[in-house]
Chain A
Amino acid sequence: MTSTILFCALAWILLGGFGALRGRTPEAGAVVYGGSFIVAVIASGAAILQLGFGVAPGVAVVLPLGLPHLGMNFQITALSAAFLIITDVGAAAASLYAVGHGRNEREPWRVLPFFPVFIAAMNMVLIAADAYDFLIFWELMSLSSWALVVAHHEDEEARTSGVVYLLMASSGTLALLLAFGLLAGVHGQYDFASIRADHPGSWIGAVVMLLALFGAGSKAGLVPLHIWLPRAHPAAPSHVSALMSGVMTKVAVYAFVLIVFDFLGKPAWWWGLIVLIMGGITAVLGVLYALMEHDLKRLLAYHTVENIGIIFIGLGLALAFRAERLDVCAALALAAAVFHAFNHSLFKNLLFLGSGAVLARTGERDMERLGGLLRRMPQTGLLFLIGSVAISGLPPLNGFASEWMLFQAILLSPRLSAWSLKLAVPSVGAMLALAAALSAACFIKVFGITFLGRPRSPAASAATETDVFCRAGMIGLAALCIVVGLAPGMVIDLFAPVTRSLLGARLPAGHGMSWLTVVPISLSRSSYNPLSIFALIAAGGGFAAVILHRYGSRIICRAPPWGCGYASPEDASDAFPPVGTQYSASGFAQPIRRVFGSFVFNARDEVTMPPPGDVAPAHLVSALIDPVWQGCYAPLLVLVGWAADRANRLQFLTIRRYLTIVFITLVGLLVWIAPWG
């Protein structure tokens, strides 16, 4: 199976080469994206075969490249197979979508060479079995995605995002490099087998954990390292945004799980606490940022930050349980985290692809200029609705299943003995609940403003349904959201080898009954049967719909002549410009901006009213201050500027001074080595 993935990666790289050579020909898009789709289907099939049907992983593949005496080692483990499924399912959907969507690209030759290489790099990171390969392909992943972010380089914003992304990506890689350096120990054993074999001391282990949290967290978008994510993800073409948000962040989660769960052995009790708190803050801040945002793609990127927070809450819980040897509880938390990573990759891909379809047909990302799209793009709208329901964590879709499992793990926290954890876990649970509720509110805003109501701009009123390939990619993801939501046990069973190999424990799950019911701990305690819930929702919803249609539509509606601008039935011609006004995105978010924004973001609304009698419009300006930027990055920038000013003096010394500096450095080094030697 390892060699299958390697051949797939080679095929992607060849497709990238084709894109580089023939990118300007009209058929290149279909070849590259279609080829990527076929290869991704093969790769995900191989990963599912290995994980689900227990096909032997085969011996490690060693290529005679890379470091001398080490080569390039590749090996699929249960963990990497799970993340390969996440990656390649997402890659397949995004590639299929891109067959249609790529035609809208103005300069496809800037995207085609890098898109398949980006997918290949993520696959290679997942199957790498030594630190050298891992970091090489990690960097390839960063650089190819950077090239995709700056594909629209004529856009000032994309260029700035590219710089910020490059800075954060390289500092994250530096942290991972140091972590692997510490793991390799004094003998420099860089292959994962030797790293797994000996666990570092507690002190070094703690440093490695923090470095991994920084390195993987900056890629995944943990607050306060998320700063690049909402800039870079939306700047890329939409099918790339989908891959970056849905898949690349999961590769970062893989890196964290690999280092902390697989390499470090038994964690200290406070590791879980740090990860939990960072996850909780990330979840709440991510969704609050999203609520304040009216740019469709950037809002989705902020939701990625939120979901990464949820995943890291699960990982932190697993660490806390594992530190106290509660392996079954740890298995539940870790399974919930991995399951949520899978679910998030499905619905976030779906939503980004949907937003890409909207962007392609209207040219608008600003929600305040969209509206009424459900009538013009009915299928896209329905698919986007499925994604919205899933990400909001509503039953019976997949988002609910994994968040429910995570809550079950949180409810086990009284079993922990450390008091700080006993106190922290329930408060993080409250933050998780808050984040889930706010995210539902946020997606009511997104769907309501974008797809319901009437168009707010001529572009929105002229939109048409997207093409068949785009719809096919989204339909696949939406179908998976529904299937996984209705039969979560199937996926949990599929991912069970992950927890078994990392923690030596697995969920007791309701295997005695049927795989339709999820039983995380014991039947007496809690269980979740999505099919019955689905039946309940369908019956209740159908009943309500019948009642409404039977009795609701008979009522004659009389509109007042002075309706404060709201539409009367005669105006419902659905044409642009609309006669009346309608609810706006910032208006919808205003209560939440008042409640949370004023204390988190120091939000201020300023209304300028025209004097009485004047017919000029009133203006509402709302100003936000980003606490993370103010607290972390602005001081850092000042510090860097200060240090650069000091160092700048070095450019204006005399020749003799330079020689003297060289001389003193040399003598100093000699004096330093003289006593040891």
Chain B
Amino acid sequence: MMVTLINSILGPNGALSLAHALSGALVLVSFMMLYQDRLSAVINVLALHSAVLGLAVAWQAWIQAEPQLYITAVIALGFKAMIIPLALHRIVRRLNIHREVEAAVGIGLTMLAGMGLVALSLVVMLHTAAHSAVLAREDVALALATILLGMLMMIARRNAVSQIAGFMSLENGLILAAAGAEGMPLVVEISVTFSIVIAFIVIGVFLFRIRERFDTIDSTALDAFRGELQ
């Protein structure tokens, strides 16, 4: 009923185009993350990113009538939009690093590269999935763009917290793609979520360790520790 209501407002395929709009919003938030130069701002954008993902997944659950997708949405909203950002904030406060962001690549260059990546993912999907429906195809293209932007975030920053943010936005892109494809089994989602949580725990513990030893969480410090940076 809701679908028909939306369709009557937004025209035919309105339900799908709303899903499309949410995917586009996710890419937009990824771009927001790329130009933040404070750690606390990066974490806030990450929370927003996960919240948008939660909405997008919940909408997919509605239009596909797949109740188990709601669980995914709740996990995204609860864990990734609240608990993990709060924990990251706490880490940043305890380590007293809320002012610093060391970008390895300049912000402008990063943004340009990000645009190139979005264009690339659209072109790839246009060619490889020429037979599927336009909206489904572009959803996957946007998810791919989110993944690539997450990777870009990871390599454009030196700070380990920013790298965690990049990694989690990459995972968000994966979940978006999975939720868009109809009938992804719940087991896979749960395992993906748990892998994120474990990655968070491991990296969190790891951060404190680096901090204790080197007084910084710049991951290049690790290389000196390995004895490989002369």
Give bound CA distance, A662 to B229, whole Å: 21
Shortest Cβ distance from residue A427 to the other chain B in the assembled complex, whole angstroms: 58
Q: Which of A649-668 contact B (CB under 8 A)?
A: 652, 654-656, 659-660, 662-663, 666-667
CB within 8 A of A677: which of B117, B130, B154, B155? B130
Among B120, B148, B151, the most chain A Cβ lie within 10 Å of the Cβ of: B151
Within 8 A of A (CB), among B79-132: 104, 117, 120-121, 123-124, 126-130
CA distance A655 to B229 in the complex (A): 12
In whole Å, how far is A275's beta carbon from the nearest beta carbon of chain B? 46
A671 interface contact, C-beta 8 A: yes
* Cross-chain contact B127 with A667 (CB below 8 angstroms): no
The answer to whether A670 touches B130 (Cβ under 8 A) is: no
Using Cβ atoms and an 8 Å threshold, which residues of chain A touch B128?
Answer: 673, 677
A652–B151 touching, CB < 8 Å: no
- In the complex, whether A621 has a CB less than 8 A from a CB of chain B is no
Restricting to A627-677, which residues have a CB under 8 Å from any CB of B? Answer: 652, 654-656, 659-660, 662-663, 666-667, 670-671, 673-677
Instruction: Return the CB mask of B208-225 against A: 1 if under 8 Å, else 0.
Output: 000000000001101100
Q: Are A676 and B219 in contact (CB under 8 A)?
A: no
Residue interface bits B175-187, CB-to-A below 8 A is 1, else 0: 0000000000000
Question: Who on chain B is nearest to A661 by CB?
Answer: B155
Contact present for A662 and B151 (CB under 8 Å): yes
Q: CA separation between A667 and B144, bound complex, in Å?
A: 11
Q: Report the minimum CB–CB distance from A676 to chain B (whole Å).
A: 7
Alpha-carbon separation in the docked complex, A671 to B117 (Å) = 10
Task: Point out the residues of chain B lying under 8 angstroms from A670, CB to CB.
Answer: 120-121, 124
Q: How many residues of B contact A (CB 8 A)?
A: 24
Taking a contact as CB atoms closer than 8 A, the residue among B117, B126, B155 that contacts A659 in the complex is: B155
Query: Contacts A663-B155, A670-B120 hold; do A655 and B228 have CB atoms under 8 A apart?
Result: no
Q: CB distance A673 to B124 under 8 Å?
A: yes
Which residues of chain B are near A663, meaning CB under 8 Å? Answer: 148, 151-152, 154-155
Contacts of B117 in A (CB 8 A): 667
| A interface secondary structure, majority | helix
Chain B nearest CB, measured from A648 CB (Å):
12
- The reply to whether A675 and B152 contact each other, CB–CB distance below 8 Å, is no
Asked whether B158 lies within 8 Å of A656 as measured between CB atoms, the reply is: yes
Question: Is the CB–CB distance between A674 and B123 below 8 Å?
Answer: yes
CA distance A667 to B154 in the complex (A): 15
A666: which B residues are within 8 A, CB to CB?
Answer: 148, 151
Is B151 touching A671 in the complex (CB atoms < 8 A)?
Answer: no
The interface residues of chain B lying within 8 Å CB-to-CB of A676 are 127
Nearest A residue to B224 by beta-carbon distance?
A: A654
- Most chain A C-beta atoms within 10 Å of own C-beta, residue among B130, B155, B219, B222: B155
Query: Closest CB-CB distance, A551 to chain B, in whole Å?
Result: 88
CB distance from B92 to the nearest CB of A (A): 20
Given contacts A656-B155, A659-B151, A675-B127, contact A667 B104 (CB under 8 A): no
Does B220 lie within 8 Å of A667, measured CB to CB?
A: no
Give the residue name and chain of the A residue nearest to B227 (CB): A652
- Alpha-carbon gap, A660 to B219, bound state (A): 14
Rounded to whole angstroms, the CA-CA distance of A670 and B117 in the bound complex is 10
CB pair A667–B155 under 8 Å, yes or no, is no
Complex alpha-carbon distance, A434 and B58, angstroms: 85
Specify which chain A residues have a CB less than 8 angstroms from the CB of B223 in the assembled complex: 654-655
Distance A652 CA – B219 CA, assembled complex (angstroms): 14
Pairs A-B, 7 closest by C-beta atoms: A677-B127, A677-B128, A652-B228, A659-B155, A663-B151, A660-B155, A674-B124
User: Knowing that A656-B104, A663-B148, A666-B148 are A-B contacts, what are 14 other residue pairs whose CB atoms are under 8 Å apart, sorted by A's residue number?
Assistant: A654-B220, A655-B223, A656-B155, A663-B154, A666-B151, A667-B120, A671-B120, A673-B128, A674-B124, A674-B127, A677-B126, A677-B127, A677-B128, A677-B130
Give residues in B with beta carbon < 8 Å to A: 104, 117, 120-121, 123-124, 126-130, 148, 151-152, 154-155, 158, 219-220, 222-223, 226, 228-229
A sample of 15 inter-chain contacts (CB < 8 A) reads A652-B228, A654-B219, A654-B229, A656-B104, A656-B155, A656-B158, A656-B219, A659-B151, A663-B154, A667-B148, A673-B124, A673-B128, A674-B120, A674-B123, A675-B127
